[in-house]
Amino acid sequence: MPVEKQYVDDQLAKLDSKRRLGVGKELKYLHEHINQGENILGHTRGFYNGTTWLICVTDRRLLFLDRNIGWGMKTTEIPLTSVGSVNYETKLMGGNITVTASGSEKHIGKMKKQDVKDIAALISDAAEKVNSASPAAAIQEVSKMDELKKLAELKDSGILTDEEFNEQKAKLLS
């Protein structure tokens, strides 16, 4: 659910955010794409899919915005939970970032040299924080799978009937 423009403006002000050449119109409409409770960690501009995009890092996702006159808004997002790696390369005048997420790579090019390392670190740190926030949930999920395997073994060996197996399975998955 979109937030009020002031919500985003306040966050950008705390970041000492500079207006980036080429993404002013995207920043103007950023509030329409930020959700209540979502925090902006940083932003930059970069070349993605043939045009200049606003790249916004939040505490939940990496958000790409491209607003074109007459075409409307194009958006792409990568949930931080799916980020596998972040690599960057700096060159004489600028640099690139490659984000690997869910088996695919997103290349962000033609970035300002001073932004490349900072944004790459910001994405990596935010993804690590999100992904390490709930190890208990992952352990619990593994435990459920172990229990299901044990139940299947008991059923296969004849100790549990199909009815008993299905009853225990339903309890475990609820």
Q: What is the pLDDT of residues 54-72, one digit of tens each?
A: 999 999 999 999 988 777 8
Tell me which residue of 37, 89, 29 sits closest to 58, measured CA to CA: 37
Mean pLDDT for the stretch of residues 102-112: 91
Q: What integer pLDDT is reported at residue 43 of this predicted model?
A: 92
The pTM of the full predicted model, rounded to 2 decimals, is 0.73
Structure letter (DSSP) for residue 27: H
* Each residue's pLDDT tens digit, 108-122: 999 988 899 999 999
